[in-house]
């Protein structure tokens, strides 16, 4: 075990090797086409690194400056309760959702349902084979929703990969009935423009609205035409999910011409992704508010009319942000944490060469009232532990830890592990706990690590791309009050009012 205070000294010159810099530069200047490479139905292959980088990684392990290969380390206030390896679904693990005593784990090959009544010994309830990246997942009542963002031969769970240039190809949303958790039933499919990289629930009593985020249009794709500067809105009647349908496509970045009105990216803004849609959206239904992470832009918008969201404010960071990836509100809804997925989640960006401000979180205060609210940048947060150049590492999915009067969240950083950090003072964020594994490989850059890390009913649950499902117990006086908060359901991108 490594103490938290000791981890802050692990700031070796990792990442300064010239050959590694060349590989990284190629990854970063191109800009991410997708949040993680779409492997189809198989895991992605590793990327070779130079002999000098390989030697540097092994030296850092030998010196105790980074954990050994697959070695688990953590701060004293975190306990690793259990890891459940992948089973019948060998693909990339993705997002998580929760309902009652169940956790729902997305995977590029389908999804898995765990009974987490005993967090120390989760039990598999069902595994559903239904390939298609990313299989971003959420639940509401008896319905489960699954995003498909890879071009498929049809909407069935037995489909195969098929080029997006073919009109008959399918991408979009799938809907399952999970009234029987042991036997989910596929009940509806809705095709959406450019597929569904992620989706966000806006639940109502009779209907569930889905905000579908997708991007990267191409003139050769019949169902994904540029500029694609908006989101698909799907309406799903709870009592008749088979009638689910797209009801609108609000344009969030209006502009003239084929490129629309979002961030133009390079060459105007070198190293920044061109905005051609959104990557992820987080909503606060109790506040009728949403925040969008949209490639080259961050936006704040009103969802008073869920079918017609209205943009309130828009910000860019053309110096340090490459790809606006996700958003998290604080409990008071006067702050938003945006993440930057530098390198598309497939690069080693948690090192000395990249530094503390790129591939980080950006903390923004929300000032003003109503439709005049503005996003005001305050600071960056990045994990203080350098990772090896064989470890993909960047800010990824996280959630609030509900403590009244405090702004604390837990967050996944791929092979950077899981970080618990506080941003009560927006200008001075700090890490208060962590969990991580050593590199998957010392000889090549292999994709892996924590995709999502969320706090739910007293525990942290993390979906590791390669290693499976992890359960962590956090014991700290600063976060212990959160153990009293209990939810019946949690989709992190549909943030609850924890203290209502």
> Is pLDDT above 70 for 230?
yes
Encode the chain in three state secondary structure: CCCHHHHCCCCCCCCCCHHHHHHHHHHHHHCCCCCCCCCCCCCCCCEECCHHHHHHHHHHHHCCCCCCCCCEEECCCEEEEEEECCCCCCCCEEEEEEECCEEEEEECCEEEEEECCCCCCCEEEEEEECCCCEEEEEEECCEEEEEEEEEECCCCCCCCECCCCCCCCEEEEEEEECCCCCCCEEEEEEECCCCCCEEEEEECCCEEEEEEECCCCCCCCCCCCCCCCECEEEEEECCCHHHCEEEECCECCCCCCCCCCCCCCCCCCCCCCCCCCCCEEEEEHHHCEEEEEEECEEEEEECCCCCCCEEEEEECCCCCCCCEEEEEECCCCCEEEEEECHHHHCCECCCCCCCCCCCCEEEEEEECCHHHCEEEEEEEECCCCCCCCCECECCCEEEECCCCCCCEEEEEEEECCEEEEECCCCCCCEEEEEEEECCCCCCEEECCCEEEEEEECCEEEEEECCCEEEEEEECCCCCHHHHHCCCCEEECCECCCCCC
Contacts of 490 (CB under 8 A, 6+ apart): 97, 98, 99, 399, 454, 456, 496
- 290 and 311 Cβ atoms separated by less than 8 Å: no
Please, which residues have CB within 8 angstroms of residue 372's CB and are 6 or more apart in sequence?
Answer: 312
pLDDT at 1 over 70: no
In this predicted structure, the answer to whether residue 384 has a pLDDT above a threshold of 90 is yes
Q: Provide the sign of the torsion angle of the four alpha carbons 87, 91, 96, 97, taken in this order.
A: negative
* CA–CA dist 421, 381 (Å, integer): 9
* 364 or 10: which leads in pLDDT: 364
Q: Residue 44: which pLDDT band, with cuts at 50, 70 and 90? A: low
pLDDT of 92 > 90? The answer is yes
Question: In whole angstroms, what is the distance from residue 336 CA to residue 291 CA?
Answer: 8
pLDDT above 70 coverage of the chain, percent: 91
Is the per-residue pLDDT at 35 higher than 50?
A: no
CATH 3.40.50.2300 given to domain 4-490? no
CA separation for the pair 231, 198 (Å, rounded): 11
Q: Under 8 Å CB-to-CB from 370, ≥6 apart: which residues?
A: none
| Burial class for 255, CB neighbours closer than 10 Å (0-12, 13-18, 19+) | middle
pLDDT for position 256? 75
Mean pLDDT of the chain: 91
Quick one: pLDDT band at residue 45, thresholds 50, 70, 90?
low
Query: CA triplet 163, 166, 170: central angle to 5 degrees?
Result: 75
The pLDDT value recorded for residue 12 is 43
Alpha-carbon span 139 to 236, nearest angstrom: 12
Question: Does residue 25 surpass a pLDDT of 60?
Answer: no
Give the pLDDT band (50/70/90) at residue 249.
Answer: very high
Q: Which two tokens stand for residue 257?
A: 């011409």
pLDDT of amino acid 500:
76
pLDDT confidence of residue 18: 35
Residue 38: CA atoms inside 13 Å, Cβ hemisphere, count? 20
| pLDDT score of 498 | 93
Q: Model confidence over 455-468: pLDDT tens digits?
A: 999 999 999 999 99
pLDDT at residue 145 above 90?
A: yes
pLDDT, residue 55, reads 92
Query: pLDDT digit string (tens) for 291-329?
Result: 999 999 999 999 999 999 999 999 999 999 999 999 999
Q: Tell me what pLDDT residue 3 has.
A: 36
């Amino acid at each position: 075990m490594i103490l938290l205070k000791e981890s802050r000294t692990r700031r070796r010159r990792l990442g300064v090797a010239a050959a590694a810099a060349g590989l990284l530069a190629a990854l970063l200047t191109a800009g991410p086409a997708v949040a993680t490479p779409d492997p189809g139905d198989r895991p992605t292959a590793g990327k070779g690194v130079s002999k000098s980088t390989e030697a540097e990684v092994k030296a850092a392990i030998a010196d105790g400056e980074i954990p050994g290969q697959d070695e688990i380390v953590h701060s004293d206030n975190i306990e690793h309760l259990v890891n459940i390896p992948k089973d019948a679904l060998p693909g990339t693990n993705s997002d998580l959702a929760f309902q009652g005593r169940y956790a729902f784990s997305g995977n590029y090959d389908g999804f898995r349902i765990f009974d987490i009544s005993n967090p120390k010994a989760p039990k598999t309830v069902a595994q559903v084979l239904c390939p298609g990246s990313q299989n971003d997942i959420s639940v509401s009542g008896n319905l489960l929703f699954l995003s498909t963002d890879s071009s498929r031969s049809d909407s069935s769970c037995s489909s195969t990969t098929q080029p997006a240039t073919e009109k008959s190809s399918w991408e979009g949303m799938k809907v399952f009935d999970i009234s029987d958790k042991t036997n989910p039933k596929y009940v509806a499919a809705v095709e959406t423009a450019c597929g569904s990289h992620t989706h966000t629930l806006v639940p109502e009593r009779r209907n569930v609205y889905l905000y579908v985020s997708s991007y990267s249009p191409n003139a050769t794709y019949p169902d994904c035409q540029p500029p694609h500067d908006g989101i698909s809105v799907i309406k799903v009647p709870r009592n008749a999910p088979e009638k689910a349908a797209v009801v609108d496509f609000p344009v969030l970045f209006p502009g003239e011409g084929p490129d629309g009105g979002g961030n133009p990216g390079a060459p105007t803004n070198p190293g920044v992704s061109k905005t051609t849609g959104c990557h992820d959206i987080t909503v606060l239904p109790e506040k009728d508010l949403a925040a969008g992470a949209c490639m080259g832009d961050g936006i704040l918008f009103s969802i008073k009319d869920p079918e017609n969201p209205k943009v309130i404010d828009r910000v860019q960071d053309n110096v340090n942000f490459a790809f606006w990836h996700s958003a998290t509100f604080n409990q008071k809804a006067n702050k938003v944490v945006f993440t930057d997925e530098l390198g598309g989640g497939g690069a080693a960006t948690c090192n000395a060469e990249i530094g503390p401000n790129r591939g980080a979180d950006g903390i923004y205060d929300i000032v003003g009232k109503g439709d005049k609210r503005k996003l005001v940048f305050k600071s960056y947060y990045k994990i203080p532990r350098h990772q090896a150049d064989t470890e993909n590492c960047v800010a990824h999915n996280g959630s609030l830890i509900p403590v009244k009067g405090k702004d604390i969240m837990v967050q996944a950083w791929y092979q950077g592990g899981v970080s618990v950090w506080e941003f009560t003072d927006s200008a001075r964020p700090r890490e208060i706990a962590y969990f991580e594994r050593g590199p998957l490989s010392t000889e090549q850059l292999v994709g892996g690590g924590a995709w999502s890390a969320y706090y739910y009913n007293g525990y942290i649950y993390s979906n590791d791309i390669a290693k499976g499902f992890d359960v962590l117990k956090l014991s700290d006086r600063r976060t212990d009050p959160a153990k009293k908060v209990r939810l019946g359901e949690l989709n992190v991108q549909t943030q609850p009012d924890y203290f209502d």
